Amino acid sequence: MVDHNINLLPAGRQASAGTTRRSLLQGMASLALGSAVATRPAMAADFKGKTVVVAVGSFMSSGIAMFKNKWEAETGGRIEIVEIPFGDLYQRLFTAFTSGAHQFDVAVYASNWIPEFAQAGHIVSLEPYYPQKDNWNSVLPSVQRIMYSQGQRYTVPLDGDVIFGYYRTDALDKPDHKKRFQDKYGYALAAPTTWEQYRDIAQFFTGWDWSGSGKPGFGVLEAQKPKDVGPYIFISRAATYAANATLKGSLFFDPDTMEPQINNPGWVQALKDWIEIRKFGPPEMATYGGGEMRGNFVAGDYALGIDWADVGIMAQDENSSTIKGKLGYFVLPGPSKVWNYRTKDWQAFSTPQQAPFQGWGGWHGSIAKTSKVPEAAWDFLNFIDSTPNAFTAVTTPGTARNPYRVDHFSNPDAWTKAPVKYADPKPYLDTIKAALSHPNVQSDLRILQSGRYYEVLDQWTQEALAGSLSPEAALAKAADQWRAITKEAGVASQRKLYRDLYGLT
Amino acid sequence: MSAAKIGGNSSLRYVVVLLWAVFALFPLYWILITAFKLPKDIFRGPFYLPGVDFFPTTNSFRYLLTTGSGDFFHGLGNSVLFATTSGIFSVLFGAFAAYGLARYEYRLGPMKNDDISFFIVSQRMMPPIVAVIALFVMYRWLGLLDTYFGMILIYTWYNLPLSVYLLTDFIKRIPPDIEYAAAIDGYDRVRQILFITVPLAFPGIAAAFFLAFIFTWNDFLLALMLTFQNAKTLPVVIAAWSANMDPRWWLLSAAGIVAVIPPVAALSLLDRLMERRERMG
Amino acid sequence: MKVSSAKYFLVAPPLLFFLALSLIPLLLTLGLSLTDADLSGAGNWIGLSNYKALWSDRIFLRSYLNTLEYAVIGVPVQYVLGLVLAVFVAQFQHGRRLLRLIVLIPLMVAPLVVGFIWKTMLDSRLGPVDDLLRHLTGIAVPWLTDETLAFVSILVVDTWQWTPFMFLILFAGIASMPREPFEAAYVDGASRWRVFWDITFPMLGPASLAAVLLRGIEAFKIFDIVYYITGGGPGSVTTSTTLTAYFTGLRSGHVGYGAAMTVILLLTVIAFGSLFPFAVKLITRQRGKTFARAVNRNIAATNFGGVRA
C-alpha cells in the first residue's frame, strides 16, 4: 500500500528543497494527485521511511483515519493509528507518558488535559512549528484560547466543542401546539430562553403522541447515567446560574481563594432543575449515557435535548435517524438571576444570562516529547487540520469533529452537499457559532486532576438525582472533596492554572 | 459412565433444562438480531423478527469485513492465540502442580499442602484494578509491553491458580493404584502422569482449559494496559468501538456474535474429553 | 528420580509465577495505598490516611456493602442452579453435548456485549422483556430505574453469565465419578432422590468447594455488567468496589486511594477464601452420621477404585 502510493509521487519532490520544491510540488501534485494536494501550500517535507504512531480516543478515530492514505501518498511516510477505548484514554496516555514508554508520536485527546501534560513536559510546545501554519487565524478565538499552556501553543485544534440545545420543529413549531401551549402557559411556544420555559415545554410534550408515531412522546432527553457524560450536561446547566458575566472565572472556584463554588445556590438551583426534568423524560433516562441519549433522540420522540454538536450530525443519517429535517437548535437558556460569589447573593439581570459551556473542550492533537519524528508528526497534524481537510472532516458523519473554524460556518450550502448532506445547516451552524462566540462562553475545567474533580462531582450529583441526598447536601459533600483535591494538588498552582484560563493575573 | 443414574427427579429435568435454555439463549438471539438492525430500529424497538417487524441489514457485518476488518481480525487472531496457548500452559503447569499437591506431602517453611494450594489460588484474589499499574511498570522495564510473549505469560499467570486448584481435586480422586500398576509396567513418573493420570483427569483438564480460555478471551483490563497495537486483543478492539459516545450497538452485536464462535469451537473440540473415558486396563 | 526433591519441580511454576508477577504488584499496591499517588505512581507518604478516609466515605461503604451482597446472594443461587443443571443435563442420554453447549454459551459472550444487550433487553421501551411482560401480565416493571430492582437486575445478569461457570466445574465433577457406588446403591433399592443426597452430592463435595471458592473470588470483583448496565446507579445503589476503585484509581487518577479500596477488597476475599473451606468442614461434620457414612463410603469407593463387595 505504502510503496504503491510512493510511486504516485512526483519524483522531483525528493530532490528539491525550500520554496522551489514547494512550488514544483504544487504544480506536479495537482497533475498527479488532483486538487486535494494542490490546496496544501505548506507541504514541503518528505517523510519516506518514517512512521508516525497516532494514539487517539476511539470515538474520533475516523476523523483522522480518513486522511491517512492521502498523507502517506503525499509524503511517503506511514501513519499507524491506535484506537484507545474512549473512557480509558486519559489513564492510558498518562501511564504511557509517566512511565517513559514511547508508544506514540501524536496523541489526540481532550483539551482539558493540555495544561497537565504540558506542565509535566510530556508534550512539546508547538510554537517552533506554528509559523509554518497558514490557517491559525481562522480558528475561532474561544477554541484558540484553550490550546495554550503558559503562553505557548501545545496543540493543533481538530474540533470545537460546545454544549447546546436541540428541539423538534414538528413539536414546537406546529400552530396547533402553539395555540394549546399559549392557552395553558400564557406565553408563546418557541425555543426556550429561560429554564422555566424549558421546563414548561418539556412538561407540555410529555405523555402524548405529538409526533404521530403512535407512541406517547417525551418532553426531554438528557444523558444522566452515572460515570458517563452527566457532569458535562449538568455543568452546562449550572454555568448559566453560576458563571456571572460580570465576574470572570466564577464558575468553578472563587478565583482568588480557590474556594469551590459548586455548592453555591446557583449550582444547587441547576441541580434542582436537573432533577425536576426527569419527570419529563423516559424512565430509563437515568441510565442513558451520551451515546444512548443520541441514539434515542434521533430515533424517537423527544421535544427537547441537550448535547454537543453530535446529535445534529447523527440526525442526518437516515439509518440512525427518523428526525432529519425536524431539528431546531438553541443556545442553552439563561436565568434572569445569577449567583454572585462576591456579594454571596443572587444578582438580577434584565435579560436571560446565557453561559455556553465548552465541555470536554474538543479534540486536540499534540506531539509526544518522546517522539523521534516530530517533524513528520507536525506535518500530519497540520495536514488533518488544513483548511480543506478540516472542512471535509467536520462535514463527514461519524468523525466526531465539530466545526471550529470561521470558514466552517460561512458556507451552509457546502454542508448540504458534503457527505453529511445536512438538511438545513444554517440554523445549526448559527447556533454553534453563537454559542462558541458568546461573550460569556465558559471553558471546561483545565487544572490538574480535572478528572478527579469530575468524578467527585458525578458521584454526588448522582446521589441527589437518585434522591438519597438533597441537592444542597450532595453538592456540599462534593465541595468538601473538591477542597481536599485542590489542597492535595497545591492551591497555588491550581489557582494559577485556573486564573490563566480566564486571563486573570 | 452412563450418567443416567446419579439421582434427582427425572420428569422435572425436562422442564428445568428447557426453561434454562430459553433464559440462556434469548439474549443470544437478541444479540444476533441486533446485529442485523439499523440503528433506528434498535432505538425504536422492540422488534423481534427480521423481515417481519424490521428490515434486516448486513451493514454491521460489512463493516467488520471492510472498514473494521484490520483491527477486528488482528484482535481476533491475537485473542485466539493467547487464549489457546495460555490455556495449554496453565493446564500443563497446573496439572503437574496439582499432581504434586495430590500425591506428595510438602513442607515449605510453615506451609503444608493445603496452605500451598491456598497460596497459589490466592493469586487470583488480587483485584487487578491497581495491580495493572504495577504490571505495566514491570512490563515496561522488562520490555514486554505489547509483545506476544508478554501476553501469553500474563494470561498463564492469570489462569494457573485456577487450573491448579481445580485439578488437584480431580487428581486426588484418581486411585493411585493405577499409577502403581503402571510403575510396575516400567513407566517412569513423568510418563505415569502424562499417560495414565492426565487422561483419567480429562474431564477436569478440559474444564480447566476451557475456563482458562474463557478468562483470557474475556479479559479487558490486562489487555488494555499491557498492549498497544501489536498484541491488542478482541475485547479492547470491541471496547474501542463501543466508545460510550456513539452507540454502535449493531456493530458490537455483530462482533459479539462472531466472538462467540472461537470459544464454541474450543468447547466442541474439548467435548470428547469432558466426559470420562472408560478406564483402560 | 529422587521424589523428595523432584516433587518441588511440580509446584515450582505456580510459585515462581507468584513471586514474579503477583508479589511485586501486591507490595506496590500495599505501598501505594499508603500514599496520595497519581497515575505516575509518585506521591507522598500519608500513612493510613486513605484507610481512615475510606471509613467515612459513604460511596465506598455503599459499594463495599453492595459487593458483599452480590457475592453472598449471587454465589449460592448460581451454585444451586449450576448443580441442578449439571445433574439434570448429565442424565440426558441424547443431546447431552448440545445441552451442555447451550448452558455454557453465556460464559462466552464478551462482558461488554453482555452488558449492553441486557441493558437494551431490560429497557422498558426498547427491550423485549418488559414488552412481553406487559402483553402477558399487563404489569410494567422498572427493571433498571427502581433501586431494589436495579440491584436485582444486576444479580439476574450476573446469574445468567456465571451459572455456567458453576455448571462446568460440577459437570466435570459428575463426569469423572466412578459408577460403582451408584450401581451398588440402586441394587440396594435406593430412590433417585436418596442416591442424589447420599452419593452424588457428597461426592461432589470437593468440586463444589472448588466451584464456590473460585466463583466467590471472582464474584467480589464484579465490574463489567454493573458499569455497562447502570454505571452503579441509581445513585450508588448498584455500584461495586471494583467499579469504584477503577474510577477512583485509573479513570480519575487517584491511585493511592483506589489502591486502598482494592486492599480492603483483597482482605475480604482472603477472609472469604480461608474461612469458607473451614466453614464447609464444620458444617459437614455437623450434618450427622448418615452423611458422614455416605461420604466415607464414597471416599472409600473412590480411593479403592470402586472395588466394593
**Using CB atoms and an 8 Å cut-off, which of residues 68-97 of chain B contact chain C?**
93-94, 96-97
Using a CB-CB cut-off of 8 Å, the residues of chain C touching B259 are 108-110, 113
Residue B133: CB partners within 8 Å, gap ≥ 6? A95, B225, C28, C32, C39, C41, C249, C250, C255
* 8 A C-beta contact, residue C162 and residue C218: yes
User: What is the model's pLDDT at position A372?
Assistant: 95
Distance CA A96, CA B245 (A): 24
Cell of A115: 495544561
Q: Taking the alpha carbons of A187, A189, A193, A194 in that order, is the dihedral positive or negative? A: positive
Checking if the pLDDT of A42 tops 70, the result is no
Tell the residue number behind the cell numbers 444542597, with chain if given. Answer: A472
Neighbours of chain A (3+ CB pairs under 8 A): B, C
pLDDT tens digits, one per residue of C178-231 = 777 888 888 888 888 888 888 888 888 888 998 999 999 999 999 999 999 999
Chain A residues within 8 A of C145 when measuring between CB atoms = 283-284, 286-287
**Helices assigned H by DSSP within A243-322:** 265-276, 290-299, 310-314
Q: Which of residues 126-165 of B touch A (CB under 8 A)?
A: 133, 136-137, 140, 145-146
pLDDT score for C163: 97
What's the complex ipTM? Answer: 0.90
In 3-state terms, what secondary structure has residue B36?
A: coil
A56, β-bridge pairs: A83, A108
Which of A296, A321, A299, A307 shows the shortest CA–CA distance to A422? A321
**In C10-49, which positions are buried (b, 16+ CB within 10 angstroms) versus exposed (e)?**
bbebbbebbeebbeebbebbebbbbbbbbbbbebeebeeb
- If you write DSSP's letter for every residue of C44-56 in order, what string do you get? -B-TTHHHHHHHT
CA distance A486 to A484: 5
**pLDDT confidence bin for A44, thresholds 50/70/90:** low
Q: What is the 3-state secondary structure (H, E, C) of B40-59?
A: HHHHHCCCCCECCCECCCCH
Strand order in the sheet with A302-307: A218-221, A302-307, A164-168, A327-330
pLDDT range class, residue C308, cuts 50, 70, 90: very low
Task: Judge whether residue C101 has pLDDT over 60.
Answer: yes
Which chain C residues in 222-281 lie under 8 Å from chain B, judged by CB atoms?
A: 224, 241-242, 245-246, 249-250, 255, 258-259, 262, 265-266, 269-270, 273-274
From the CB of residue A411, how many other CB atoms can be counted at a distance below 10 Å?
Answer: 14
DSSP A339-381: EETTTTEEEE-SS-----EE-S--EEEEEBTT-S-HHHHHHHH
In B173-248, which residue ranges form alpha helices assigned H by DSSP? 176-184, 189-191, 198-200, 202-218, 221-226, 234-242
User: Tell me, what's the pLDDT at B7?
Assistant: 57
The conformation of residue C246, written as its DSSP 8-state character, comes to I
Query: What does the pLDDT average to over C32-55?
Result: 91
> Mind giving me the DSSP string for B102-153?
HHS---BTTB-HHHHHHHHHHGGGS-HHHHHHHHHHHHHHHT-TT-HHHHHH
Q: What is the pLDDT of residue B278?
A: 43
Q: Work out the minimum CA distance from B192 to partner chain A, whole angstroms.
A: 47
- Interface chains of chain C (3 or more CB pairs under 8 Å): A, B
pLDDT tens digit at each of 281 positions of chain B: 444 456 555 678 899 999 999 999 999 999 999 999 999 999 987 999 998 889 999 999 999 998 888 899 999 999 999 999 999 999 999 998 999 998 888 888 888 888 888 888 888 888 888 788 888 888 988 999 999 999 999 999 999 999 998 898 888 878 888 888 888 888 887 788 778 888 888 888 999 999 999 999 999 999 998 999 899 999 999 988 876 567 788 999 999 999 999 999 999 888 877 765 544 33
The verdict on B43 touching C (C-beta cutoff 8 Å) is yes
Is A459 in contact with C251 (Cβ distance < 8 A)?
no
**DSSP secondary structure code for residue C162 in this structure:** H
For residue C253, give the nearest of A94, A99, A225 by CB distance.
Answer: A94
pLDDT at A5 exceeding the cut of 90: no
Task: Say yes or no to pLDDT of C158 above 60.
Answer: yes
pLDDT more than 90, % of chain A: 78
Which positions in chain C have a beta carbon within 8 angstroms of at least one beta carbon in chain A?
36, 38-42, 58-59, 119, 123-126, 142, 144-145, 147, 227, 229-237, 239, 243, 247-248, 250-254
Who contacts A22 (Cβ-Cβ below 8 Å, separation ≥6)?
A41, A42, A43, A44
The 3-class SS string of C206-245 reads: HHHHHHHHHHHHHHCCCCHHHHHHCCCCCCCCCCCHHHHH
Q: What local confidence, expressed as pLDDT, does residue B6 receive? A: 61
Give mean pLDDT, residues C246-273.
92
Rounded to whole angstroms, the Cα distance separating B28 from B32 reads: 6
Nearest Cα of chain C lies from the Cα of B55 at a distance, in angstroms, of 17
Cβ <8 Å between B225 and A85: no
Please tell me what DSSP assigns to residue B235: H
Which one of B5, B6, B52, B132 makes the best mutation probe of the C interface by having the most chain C beta carbons within 10 Å? B6
How far is A111 from A234, CA to CA, in rounded Å? 19
Which of C17, C127, C165 faces B157 most closely, judged by CB atoms?
C17
Partner residue opposite A225 with nearest CB, options C58, C125, C233: C233
Return the number of other C-beta atoms located less than 10 Å from residue C249's C-beta: 30
The residues facing A220 across adjacent strands are A304
**Close Cβ partners of A317 (under 8 Å, ≥ 6 residues apart):** A298, A397, B39
Q: Which has more pLDDT, B244 or C265? A: C265
pLDDT at position C306 is 32
pLDDT tens, residue by residue, A119-176 = 999 999 999 999 999 999 999 999 999 899 888 999 999 999 999 999 999 999 999 9
Output the pLDDT for position C4: 63
* A77-100 exposure pattern, b = at least 16 Cβ within 10 A, e = fewer: bbbebbbbbbbbbbbbbbbbbbbe
Question: pTM here?
Answer: 0.90
C-alpha cell at C33: 495505598
| Backbone dihedral angles phi then psi of residue A108, each to the nearest 5 degrees | -115, 120
A 10 A CB-CB count for C272 gives 22
pLDDT at B245: 63
- Euclidean distance between CA atoms A480 and A469, whole angstroms: 15
Tell me which chain A residues have a C-beta less than 8 angstroms from the C-beta of B145. 101, 103
State pLDDT tens for residues A450-470.
889 999 999 999 999 999 999
The burial of B107, by beta-carbon neighbours within 10 Å (0-12 exposed, 13-18 middle, 19 or more buried), is given as: exposed
Task: Please give the pLDDT value at position A32.
Answer: 40
Q: From the centroid of its chain, how far is CA A6?
A: 36
